[in-house]
Amino acid sequence: MNKVTLACITLAISISSIYSAKTQAHAIWFAERSSQLALIYGEGAQDLDTVKRQDKVKRVTGYNKNWQEQSVKLVESGHMMILSDNTVYAVTGMLDNGLWSKTKDGKWFASGRDQIPDAVLSEHTKKHAVHLRGPLTKIPQLKEQQLQIIPIGNSFSDQKGALVSYRILFNGKAVQGAKVINDIVNDPDQKPLISNDEGIVTLPLRNQGLNVVAAIYDEKSTNLAVFDKTEHLATLSFILPHAAE
């Protein structure tokens, strides 16, 4: 094997590792807990303490069926943050997770490159979420959602396995290159699909129950001395009904 071939293989492995790792980020979404709607922060089976992170939650907005805003807030309930109004049709949230840097030994620190100059990666991370209280339905572009997953169409199947196309919007515009998976809760390590030049990906509905679709999109840094990029992670969660008992 010549040096050029070896170098290409090494580069491919490195890119693949980075590519996979970046689908393994913590997200926020909403889910029912003891008949209350709670904000979840985690990845896969993780359901981490949101109370100690509540100062990072910058916005929570409720909506009625006509997508008119309803005033809601998060309130403490043990180690959870639950929604004050359990009657909303939909709810959105945004959490600014701040600066994080990764060192060569794989450890993460809540600081920028200006504080950890030898970091292999420094990023600003933002989490966005849209939740429907029922099945998938048409969703408008929401101005407060910087990164948003929008299902394409006017009506959708309520059965798992059905294909759905989504458009990924960043600042209201379709973006190419977003990494999208159809279940960050039960299969966070799945290989993502990449949005095309129209911002579109097509994925099967994953669960006959809670579905949490996730998309990651990297925004260019506004200050390279402090962070390499801003990583936006958005979720769209909804519920497919189970069979009658």
| Structural contact between residues 84 and 75, judged by C-beta atoms closer than 8 angstroms | yes
Total number of domains constituting the chain: 1
In a domain, 245, yes or no: no
170-180 confidence digits (pLDDT tens): 999 999 999 99
How many Å is the Cα radius of gyration of the chain? 19
Q: C-alpha angle with apex 46: 150 to 60, nearest 5 degrees?
A: 45
Q: What pTM did the predictor assign?
A: 0.88
- Model confidence over 28-44: pLDDT tens digits? 999 999 999 999 999 99
**Residue range 35-54: mean pLDDT, rounded:** 92
Confidence of residue 47 (pLDDT cuts 50, 70, 90): confident
Residues 194 and 166: beta-carbon distance below 8 Å: no
Q: Is 232 part of any domain? A: yes
Residue 124, burial from CB neighbour count under 10 angstroms (0-12, 13-18, 19+): buried
59 within 8 A of 94, measured Cβ to Cβ: yes
Is 244 domain-assigned?
no
Rounded-to-5 percentages of helix, strand, coil across the chain = 10, 45, 45
Residue 211 binned pLDDT confidence (cut-offs 50, 70, 90): very high
Q: DSSP letters along 155-224, please?
A: ----STT-EEEEEEEETTEE-SS-EEES-TTT-TTSPPEE--TTSEEEEE---SSEEEEEEEEEEEPS-T
Q: Could you tell me if residue 192 is inside a domain?
A: yes
Buried b (16+ CB within 10 A) or exposed e, 201-235: bebebbbeebbbbbbbbbbebeeeebbbbbbbbbb
Does 11 score more than 70 pLDDT? no
How does DSSP assign 30-58, residue by residue?
A: EEEETTEEEEEEESTT----SGGGGGGEE
What's the CA gap between 93 and 90, in Å, rounded? 11
End-to-end alpha carbon distance in the chain? 62
The boundaries of the domain holding residue 77 are 3-239
Q: What is the pLDDT of residues 156-167, one digit of tens each?
A: 999 999 999 999
Residue 142: both structure tokens together: 């929401």
Q: How far apart are CA 82 and CA 239, in angstroms?
A: 18
* Residue with the two structure tokens 């129950």: 209
